[in-house]
Amino acid sequence: MSQQINGPEITMQAGEDLIAFRRVKISGSTVVYADAGETGIGVVQAAVDYSENANACIRLDNPGGTSKMMAAGIITAGAAAYPATDGKVSATVNGEQIGTAIEAAGADGDIIEVLPKYVGTEVAATSARSRDAAELPTEDIWGNFNLVEMRRNPFAGSLLECDFVRGEIADDIFQGDATAAVFNLPGTGGIGEMVLFTSVDNEEAAVQWNCPIVVSGGNSWALEARVKIEVITDAKATCVLGLMFRTAEQAGDVVADNGAALTDGDFVGFVHFAADGDIWDFIYDEGSQTTKVHDDNYHTAEADTYVTLGMYFNGTTIQGYINGVATGTAISASDIAAADFPTAAVVVPTLAVKGDAADDFDFTVDWIRAAQLAD
Residue 288 backbone class (left: φ over 0; alpha: ψ -120 to 50; beta: rest) = left
Task: Compute how many other C-beta atoms are within 10 angstroms of the C-beta atom of residue 259.
Answer: 20
343 touches 220 (CB < 8 A): no
Q: 261 in helix, strand or coil?
A: coil
pLDDT in tens, 302-356: 999 999 999 999 889 999 999 999 999 999 999 999 999 998 899 999 999 998 9
272 touches 364 (CB < 8 A): no
pLDDT in tens, 16-40: 999 998 988 878 778 889 887 676 7
> Tell me, what's the pLDDT at 371?
95
Domains, the chain:
9-116 (2.40.300.10), 133-373 (2.60.120.200)
d(CA 295, CA 280): 9
The average pLDDT across 278-298 equals 94
d(CA 136, CA 2): 34
Burial class of residue 337 in the structure, from the number of CB atoms within 10 Å of its CB (0-12 exposed, 13-18 middle, 19+ buried): exposed
d(CA 107, CA 127): 42
d(CA 230, CA 306): 10
Q: Is residue 189's pLDDT more than 90?
A: no
pTM of the model: 0.68
Which of 148-157, 238-247, 269-278, 348-357 shows the lowest mean pLDDT across its residues?
Answer: 148-157
The average pLDDT across 166-182 equals 70
148 touches 174 (CB < 8 A): no
